[in-house]
Amino acid sequence: MSKYHLITFGCQMNKSDSERIAAVLENIGYKPASKINEANLIVVNMCSVRQSAVDRVFGKCQKLVKLQTLNPKLKTILTGCLLKEDRKKFRDKFDLILDIKDLPQWPPILSKKHYNITTLQQYNNYLQLRPKYQSRFSTLIPISNGCDNFCSYCVVPYVRGRLVCRPAKEIIEEIKNLVKREVNPIRNMISNGAREIWLLGQNVNSYNSLICANAGTNLRKYSWKFAPKLAQIREVNFPKLLKMANDVPGDFWLRFTSPHPKDFSDELMETMAGCRKITPYLNLPVQSGDNKILRKMNRDYTAGEYKNLVKKIRKTFAKIRGKFPPISISTDVIVGFPGETKKQFEATLKLFKEIKFDMAYIAKYSPRPGTAAAKLKDSVSKQEKERRYKVLTEILKETALKNNKKYINKIVDVLPEYKKGEWLVGKTKTYKTIKIQMTKSKYQINAKIQNPKLIGKFIKVRVIKALSWGLGGELA
Ligand code: SF4
């Protein structure tokens, strides 16, 4: 029997791509291998965003060579966010290197005895393929692919191409199918649909599509000659898409990632605060607290504008949703960008102290070939990048802890994701990790039976402990 093993690196978008790869492979008869050495096809879905991610793929290659020595019939494929330079480096390490956008064309290649890359053809958006969802209660839905922003350090526009948006109608249909309750009369069971929907895009607030106001038709299917009259055409931007998603019946949370601060409109913040299914959590990448560095990064906003934006978002949320819980804000930041002086780094520290983030994803700069920043001298030493990373992490630990302490004794909604020992681990609406103690609660007697049944269902939890990176609680 043909078995496959999938190795995924990178962000949620890559994870979502892997769900589509799994669906395509299973459609042509492959079954998932429970162990890597049982597979006769290994697909590595890689990420080129940071050098460390590329190094990890190199690390995996040695294992793949060993496996191919033991099993000469084993085939290997490399796909994902691939730079031209990486393609060259990995050419002799994999049997095939395939573009993720050509996923609909993989089956004819894989069913041939000898792979032949020339059979690739252009195909419509690969995001139209139905994925094999990895979780029944938390699902990833890409709304677009690629990016037009060209931040100077970023490879996304080169590896994923320019922005392409999925039609709104297709996205809303996918949400409707995922969240609906299913009744199985034979097994006398009702299964709840998805409880958490993540809308994904490299820059979600650039989202834009056109639909026909009457039928919700996707205009891209028609030439303009046959397009319905202009009066019937409606433009769907990101806030409108959120409203449409919020209107889908069902009990579920809506999350999205990631927006660009330069495109964050009043309409978006009011929609976020006003639509109750949208969770009070926002990842808003700042990247630096220094204006000169932001300019060199081609980010198109200043540190002051970013701070004002966060203030306004917090105020809008407090006004519409009340004071607790306050919207939780995380960020992405790069330390050691080419030419970043100690003083410029201190501006980032200052911004972190002022904003008091709930979480931050801190990256040590590494040049990526082909980007504008790669032409600049990587002037900050490895040790200094490490130092800046640690200093910033310390500030974050303090602010996150302070924010988390506000949750003590409060009752919050939680979506449990998995069980770890006698703990249930899940996320709050504000995207804080929470460990739920089962044994000391009033459910003590039934704890062992109840634990697995609570996974993927909304529960109420009383917070009893606050740490920098999460909360502790018990069933309320
Ligand atoms: S907006 Fe995001 S994905 Fe687009 S170029 Fe900038 S960092 Fe990359």
Q: Which domains does the chain have, with CATH numbers?
A: 3-126 (3.40.50.12160), 135-279 (3.30.750.210), 282-405 (3.30.750.200), 411-475 (2.40.50.140)
Region 391-416: mean pLDDT is 98
d(CA 450, CA 431): 23
Best of 148, 260, 288 for a ligand 1 pocket test (most atoms within 8 Å of beta carbon): 260
pLDDT of residue 453: 80
Q: Tell me the two tokens of residue 267.
A: 């309409």
Contact 4, 18 (CB under 8 A): no
Best of 13, 81, 147 for a ligand 1 pocket test (most atoms within 8 Å of beta carbon): 147
Region 80-102: mean pLDDT is 90
Supply the residue whose CA is at minimum distance from atom 3 of ligand 1: 202
d(CA 277, CA 316): 16
Has residue 225 got a pLDDT over 90? no
142 Cα to the center of ligand 1, angstroms: 16
149 Cα to the center of ligand 1, angstroms: 6
Q: Which atom of ligand 1 is nearest to the CA of 298?
A: 6
Among candidate residues 17, 22, 81, 36, the one with its CA nearest the CA of residue 54:
81
Backbone angles phi, psi at 234, to 5 degrees: -120, 140
Q: For ligand 1, say whether the CB of 171 is within 6 Å of any of its atoms.
A: no
Among candidate residues 49, 106, 37, 52, the one with its CA nearest the CA of residue 78:
106
pLDDT of residue 215: 47
- In the sheet with 75-80, reading across from the earlier edge strand, the strands are 31-32, 3-8, 41-46, 75-80, 96-97
Q: What angle do CA 423, 427, 429 make, to 5 degrees?
A: 145
Which is more confident, 277 or 84? 277
Q: For ligand 1, say whether the CB of 149 is within 6 Å of any of its atoms.
A: yes
**What 3-state class would DSSP assign to 257?**
strand
Has residue 223 got a pLDDT over 80? no
What confidence category does residue 65 fall into, taking pLDDT thresholds of 50, 70 and 90?
confident
Q: Tell me the two tokens of residue 438.
A: 């089962």
Highest mean predicted confidence (pLDDT) among 52-66, 89-103, 107-121, 138-152:
138-152
Q: For ligand 1, say whether the CB of 13 is within 6 Å of any of its atoms.
A: no
Contact 10, 49 (CB under 8 A): yes
**What 3-state class would DSSP assign to 369?**
coil
Q: Is 0.85 topped by the overall pTM?
A: yes
d(CA 202, CA 257): 8
Among candidate residues 71, 75, 66, the one with its CA nearest the CA of residue 25:
75
13 Cα to the center of ligand 1, angstroms: 13
d(CA 409, CA 386): 37
Q: What residues pair up with 255 in beta bridges, in sequence order?
A: 198
d(CA 65, CA 345): 43
Has residue 272 got a pLDDT over 80? yes
DSSP assignment letter at 33:
-
Which residues are CB-contacts of 342 (< 8 A; sequence separation ≥ 6)? none
d(CA 449, CA 439): 12
pLDDT of residue 452: 63
Sign of CA pseudo-dihedral 68, 71, 75, 77: negative
Q: For ligand 1, say whether the CB of 154 is within 6 Å of any of its atoms.
A: yes
Across the chain, which distance is largest between two alpha carbons, in Å? 69
pLDDT of residue 451: 57
449 Cα to the center of ligand 1, angstroms: 45
DSSP assignment letter at 111:
T
Which residue has 């020339």 as its token pair?
118
